[in-house]
Amino acid sequence: MNFIDLITQIFGSLFSSGSTPIPAPVTSAKKTIKVTRTNSSPTAGIFGVITLDWDSWVGASLENYTLVIPAGTYNLVWHISPHLGNARVPMLVGVPGRTEILLHWGNTENCSEGCILCGLMKDGNDIDSTQTACQQLFAKIDAIGIENVQIIVQ
């Protein structure tokens, strides 16, 4: 564990209050969640596929068409979201010009204010089984430690 990882781990609980954490360097030693955008519609959103490089789990993603997250690689931290009933959800760190970009449940583009929605499958203009998908994905992140995970949005 390097110095920045140690500091991030020690002070990580400070970031669950809604403050913006300092981005840690993104490293290739981290496990990767990949969101690969597949198609988009101004009326339905941006759909994609979620894969993990350490597990065979696959999910569906949905983003708000007008609030696109810039393509890139981001670290993650746990965040307690008042918007989601104080649920603990992964938050992307260092998204240019944005704050509180989360991974969470929701079936339609209208459920996202710029976040990435997770489901098990695309169903027309929706994604399905979003609560189940998030429970599964968050457990996989917990199993290896969120400090060991990055997300690539492409």
Q: What are the tens digits of pLDDT across the range 39-75?
A: 999 999 999 999 999 999 999 999 999 999 999 999 9
Amino acid at 99: T
CB-CB contact of 115 with 45 (8 Å): no
Domain boundaries, the chain: 3-153
Taking 70 as the threshold, does the pLDDT of residue 79 lie above it? Answer: yes
- What is the percentage of the chain residues whose pLDDT exceeds 70? 82
Half-sphere exposure of 50 (CA within 13 A, CB side): 26
Taking 60 as the threshold, does the pLDDT of residue 117 lie above it? Answer: yes
Amino acid at 40: S
d(CA 95, CA 101): 8
pTM of the complete model beyond 0.85: no
Q: What is the pLDDT of residue 71?
A: 97
| Tokens (6 digits) for 125 | 């203009």
CB-CB contact of 35 with 48 (8 Å): yes
d(CA 20, CA 81): 13
Q: What is the pLDDT of residue 8?
A: 44
